[in-house]
Chain A
Amino acid sequence: GQNIDQPTEMTATEGAIVQINCTYQTSGFNGLFWYQQHAGEAPTFLSYNVLDGLEEKGRFSSFLSRSKGYSYLLLKELQMKDSASYLCAVSDSNYQLIWGAGTKLIIKP
């Protein structure tokens, strides 16, 4: 079967750095996505990785290792507005997205 695993909840302090991990087992791989979803709002696209390595986009970076079936989202200089759920999703051999259950990130002052 296809599976995406990510922690249910994480807590971090404002101004700090946090890393949210995602591991996957899917039939085929056509890229990995990270989305941010604030409570009661739509998921919004953060990043896409299809090749191994680190993609940096401002305070957010995303890393992929295809051989390990592993990705992480790194958030630097945390702000209170970063409190949200972070969803990991993998595009499988049919280009359908397989979703994780999301990681709820709580930022404390």
Chain B
Amino acid sequence: ETGVTQTPRHLVMGMTNKKSLKCEQHLGHNAMYWYKQSAKKPLELMFVYSLEERVENNSVPSRFSPECPNSSHLFLHLHTLQPEDSALYLCASSQAGAEADTQYFGPGTRLTVL
């Protein structure tokens, strides 16, 4: 039990659909992250919210749009995705400013784009 939950666990969508991924952390942390994990590749950091301030990764396509309404919730809005966006999307949280700033992960959403 990591204290970070994600829904849905699996998602299949067409390229014209709009969907959202949800993440919730129950650890009292003040930073949240979205990562993309593709087979045999390093985790790719997509977005960071720290102390409710967004740190944007400029290499993320605009078809991915994050939203962080408060320190416990994080969303990733998806629209007009491409088949190469199929991957495991992981959410994580941490306590920014702590010595180790260890990130704790949710179980991920397995996304398939047809």
Contacts and interface: CB of A to CB of B under 8 A. Distances in A.
Given A87-B43, A100-B42, A101-B41, A42 B101 contact: no
Contacts of A44: 2, 105
Interface stretch (A10-18, A60-68, A74-82, A90-98): A90-98
Contact of B100 (A31, A35, A43, A101): A31
Contact of A48 (B42, B102, B107, B110): B102
Contacts of B4: 42
Given A31-B100, A48-B100, A101-B40, A43 B105 contact: yes
B102 A42 contact: no
Interface of A: 4, 8, 30-31, 33, 35, 40-45, 48, 50, 87, 89, 91, 95-102
Contacts of B45: 96-97
Given A48-B102, A95-B101, A97-B103, A42 B43 contact: no
A4 B41 CA distance: 11
A8 B40 contact: yes
Contacts of A35: 105
A97 B55 CA distance: 14
Contacts of B110: 40
A45 B41 contact: no
B96 to A, nearest CB: 8
Interface in B55-96: 90, 96
B43 A99 contact: yes
Given A8-B40, A41-B107, A101-B42, A91 B101 contact: yes
